[in-house]
Every structure is written in C-alpha cells, then in structure tokens.
Structure 1
Amino acid sequence: MKNHYLFIALFSTIFLFTQCSEDLSVEPTSPNHNGLKVDMTSIYRGVYLDSLKYIVGDQGKENSVLQWCQYNNFTTVTCYDLYTLLATSAGYPKVAAFIRKAREQYGITTVTACMGSASAFSGMINTYNNSRTDSVERFNYSNLELEWWNKAATYKKYLSELQGIKAWGDAKTPRIPTETYIGWFQNPTGQELTQATGIVNNTDRVLVHAYQTIPTFNYMKSRLQWLGKAAMAQNKVQKVVFLFSAEPSFSFNYFVNNSFDQTFLKVLSEYEAASFTGKDNLEIIGYQIFAQSEGRAARPLMIQ
C-alpha cells in the first residue's frame, strides 16, 4: 500500500483552490441507491491519510486535506507516518493540534493509528495518548497493517501482533477498538478458515480490499465467505468495511467519473444480491479509501 508517493507530485497542482459552480454546503453526490435501503447519512466513511509527515504542522496543507475529507463526508481518518511524527515528544504538540482541528472543525469522529506491531501501540501510541490530558487529542482506534499474505510476516507472527494490539486496547479506559486490513488468505494456502477465525476473534472490524480498476463484490466474495463462516462459528456479527484504492493501477480512472459513495453502492448492491454461507454474520458498515493523495487527485475539491 505504500508504493505510491511518486504519484503525488504529478497531481499536486490539483489541490489548489479552483473556481467551480459547486458549493461546499452541498453533498458531492446524490447517488442512486439502486433500490437498496441504505441510510447514507450514517454509513462508515474512512480514508487513509498518507504523507502526514509533510502535512501535519503546515496549516495550509492541514486545512486543505481536512476540507476535502469534510466535503466527502469522511468521519474516520487512518493515519500513516506516525513512526516519524511521534519519534520524540517534540512532535506531540503538532500532532495533537491536527487531531483536535480534525475533530472540532471538520467533523472527524475517529482518528485511527495505523502501525505494524503491537509494540508500536503499547509503546509509541500509548506514550503519546498518555501525554494528552484532553481525550479529543488522542487516537481512539487501532489499525494493524502487516501484510502476511505478501510475506511481510508469517501468519503466526501477524496473529500474535493482532492479539497484542487487542489486549492493549481492551485494557484502556475508554477501550480502544482494533481493526485490521486484509488482502488474501494465503501464505500458506489451505488455511483460510483458520486465518479468518483468528482475525474475527481479535477485531472489531475488518477492512477487505477490492483493489481493481472497477471494484466488484465478486472479487471479495471468497474472503467475505471465510470471514462469515468464522463469525458464524463464533456466534458473532463481524463488521466489514469495503476498501477501495484510488491508485493509478487500480480505481483512479474509475473514481474520476464515479464518486466514492456511488462506488460503494454499486458493490453493496452486488453483495446484497448474493447468497453465501455466513452472510448473516457479516455487517457491511461502509467503505474506506486508500489514500488521500490519489483520492484528492481523482476527485479534487473545487470551491467557489
């Protein structure tokens, strides 16, 4: 997910304020719900904030990205670059100010820390959160990004990290929930249910990617089936987020002509039409976009 930064420079001028007939008070899309009974005012909408080490502390850049988030009704932001921003306590004030601004001025309710290990949460994130006397400046969700399917770790190692993050979050007051992003059930293959079971047992929600030029439910179906079966065995309803990529090799061109909401509704309608074991044990709560740099380039904010 991280090999995309060269792309940012190609579209940097798009982020300048441009005259257009749209008004910020109007929602960016009025999607056709395709006959679905969906309350679009309450769905989960999230976005990964990449390049934060270049944004946090620069008021103009902060306002630009947060204004775009607000316009697209994102209420969750998932933060990268925290290893750099929180390397020392010197970075704490500007991170705290950014989080406070996001919440108090731009409608962000969940600020998720994205890290690759349990020790990063029990160490770096814990130390930062404990330094803030006001909870509005703290991270309130944990996201594990450790691509075991791409051999960034073994599944056993991945699960150990996930369990550690859950244990850390469960011990906090208030509790900090845990989520994870998944690609494929492999490395090794043939253990799909075992891998899904470990994930369902240790997460509050799961981000499942549909990294295609045109996102479809069918691309995610097998992974959702395994998650549903695992949730059914645990008598649990697993919250799931559809994860779309705005990278050029995936859905960038599609997003130029289709809003994020429209894309979600398209895939959701395909999901609703399908039947598979474990479906009743899944709850599709919304969607997430990877990442803000490509998302803003594909669907730039235009203001009067």
Structure 2
Amino acid sequence: MNSNRLLFILILLCCINLYGSDRTLYVDNFSNILGNPGKEDKLLLFAKRNNFKTLILYQLNKVDKRWSLTDASKNGILAEFISKAKTKYSVQNIGASGESATFFTNRIDPYNNTRTKSSEKFDIYNLEFEYWSKNASGDDGYYCENYLRDNNLACTRTGSFQYFVNNLKELNSLSSKNKHNIKVEAYLAYFSKEEMKVINELCDRVIIHGFGKNPKTAMNSATKSLKLIMNLNSSIKTSILLSTRMNHMGYWFKHNSLGKSESLLFKEMNGKSLELRKQLNLDGFSYQTYSYLEKAISYYSYSQN
C-alpha cells in the first residue's frame, strides 16, 4: 500500500470518528415510548450502538398531559428515563424540542427546577419554529393564527422572524437563570445573511437542514446555508440535519451505514470548498427521526448478515 493511499485512509478514519462522536438523534413518538421499559431500552440501545451522544425529544406536550412535567410527584418517570440514558447508555445530552418559548417557560424549565440531580435534567432547549414558511406565517396560516396575531405581529416572514427572535431571547433568559448548564439551539432550513447575524448572537448551536436523497444532494442543499455562516466568521456550533424519511435519505440508509454516509458527506463538503470545512465549527450530524432511521438501519444490518 503506497503512502498516499495510507494517508487518505487515516484521514478518512479520523473524519468518521469525528462525526460519529457528534451524532444527534431526534426522537419522534416519544409519548408512546416513555413508560414502556421495552420501548425505552430499545431506543437507548439503538442510540448507544450507533454512537448518538445527543437525543432531542419530541411530543413533550403529550407527555405533559399524561405526567405533569411541573409536578415532581408525577414527572419522575421522565427523570428516570433521562437519568438512564445518561448513566447507562452513554448519552451526554438530552434536549427538549418546542415551537414556542412559552412551552419551555411553563413546562420544561419548571420540570428542570423540580429535579435536584443534573443527570435528570434537560441540557438543551431546542426551538423549532419555521418562520421562513410562507404557508405557516401568511394570513390564515398556522403561525399567524396561533402566535403572530396574538402578539401583534404581522403575518409575514418579517413578523414571523421577529417572533422567532423573541422566543430565542426568552430561552436565553431561562438558560441564564438556571443553575444547570443549558444550551439554546434552533433548527433552520432557509435564512438570509442578515437573519443569521441575529441568530448567531442568540444560539449555542444551529441545526441546518440538508434536503436530499443521498449525501451529494443533501450537501448541495446545505452548502448555501453553510457558506452564509462561514462568511460571518462565526464560531457557532453547526450540525447538518438529514431527514431519514423514505422520500429523503431513508432509502439510502437501508443500503449504507452511518459511517460511510458521513464520510461521503465530508468528501462532498471538501469538494464544495475546503475553506468551508476549516472555517465552520461543525458539530457533526443530526438525524430526523428515530422511527424511520431505526427501520432503515435494521434493514441494512439484516441485509449485511
């Protein structure tokens, strides 16, 4: 084996290890997982085997309806799950996802304050409010009806972005007042340079969507957003989000491992611009969501055996 080929393999292995250690998994259908030991352990074993260090939980509003998150006598079931993930399954961070800071103020932050052990607390407040959506923010849209008008904001992208920013500021306020170290992050798909300048000051991490059915198309989709961040000379942590639905990258993952996929994404990134890799504070890859990815990887594992 010649020296150049050996060097390439060593670099590739380092890249796989780098990204593999920073995987984030969005967990859907969580209200039907919590409280079922078999489903909980299946999720956490999947996370451990595939080196997911961060879990972002959806459906916490439904969890709250079953086990009040603000009542220490009832929210122990969630605390036990979070503790088990951190202490037994090598998960380092648990995040709560919501579309409004009000939910964090009224439910998630009070939950954290009822727990005395850091191993039982949320570490990330993840805002998922798609302010760029014309349908959601326009007249009669979901955001317009439920958030913008009630806050005297215009049902436009400008009004929706202002609501998004106001929510990030509120999450930062919650984080600063909490003794537990809480990071604030946001999901982003489409944004302008001016919008990113504002977001950059309010988030510890942004999760940038790469739309596509394979590493090449996913990275093509994410490149514009990544370059906007790079051109700000920002040190903000940046994770690249991959959808694992069958009409996105789900079919790809039925036939390719996470390690191979991430190495190809890294190769595509270098192909776009080596400076892109050097100047971004990349925080690995995020996968949305658990139920789709678990099925795809199970198929892949079965096919390999």
* Bigger mean CA deviation after superposition, 56-65 or 195-204: 195-204
Question: Paired residue for 2:198?
Answer: 198
Superposed CA deviations along residues 117-158 of structure 1, whole A, max 9, x for unmatched, are 112222211111111111111101111001112244411111
SS at match of 1:163: helix
Kept in 2: contact 1:252–1:295 (CA 8 A): yes
Question: Paired residue for 1:49?
Answer: 27
Superposed CA deviations along residues 9-46 of structure 1, whole A, max 9, x for unmatched, are xxxxxxxxxxxxxxxxxxxxxxx677474261673111
Letter in 1 for 2:108: I
Kept in 2: contact 1:114–1:144 (CA 8 A): yes
Q: How does 1:12-23 map to 2 (within 5 A)?
A: none
CA shift for structure 1 position 246: 0.7
How many angstroms apart in 1 are the aligned matches of 2:277 and 2:49?
32
Question: Paired residue for 2:258?
Answer: 260
Percent of matched pairs sharing the same residue? 25
Letter in 2 for 1:78: I
How many angstroms apart in 2 are the aligned matches of 1:197 and 1:227?
9
> Between Structure 1 and Structure 2, how many residues are aligned?
263
CA shift for structure 1 position 275: 2.8
How many angstroms apart in 1 are the aligned matches of 2:129 and 2:10?
34
Question: Paired residue for 1:142?
Answer: 125
CA shift for structure 1 position 180: 0.8
Q: Where do 5+ consecutive residues of structure 1 fail to align?
A: 1-31, 186-191
Matched, 1:121 2:98: no
CA shift for structure 1 position 273: 3.2
Residue 86 (structure 2) aligned to one of 99, 103, 115? 103
CA shift for structure 1 position 212: 1.0
Question: Paired residue for 2:236?
Answer: 238
Question: Paired residue for 1:38?
Answer: 15
Q: Which has the higher contact order (CA 8 A, sep 6+)?
A: 1
Question: Paired residue for 2:270?
Answer: 272
SS at match of 1:146: coil
Residue 80 (structure 1) aligned to one of 30, 55, 58? 58
* Bigger mean CA deviation after superposition, 66-75 or 168-177: 168-177
Letter in 2 for 1:62: E
1:122/1:33 CA distance change after superposition, 3 Å = farther
SS at match of 1:148: coil
How many angstroms apart in 2 are the aligned matches of 1:36 and 1:73?
15
Larger radius of gyration between Structure 1 and Structure 2: 2
Question: Paired residue for 1:284?
Answer: 282
Considering only aligned residues, what root-mean-square deviation do their CA atoms show, in Å? 2.3
How many angstroms apart in 1 are the aligned matches of 2:172 and 2:14?
33
Letter in 1 for 2:282: I
Kept in 2: contact 1:96–1:138 (CA 8 A): yes
How many angstroms apart in 1 are the aligned matches of 2:77 and 2:290?
20
Greater percentage in helix = 2
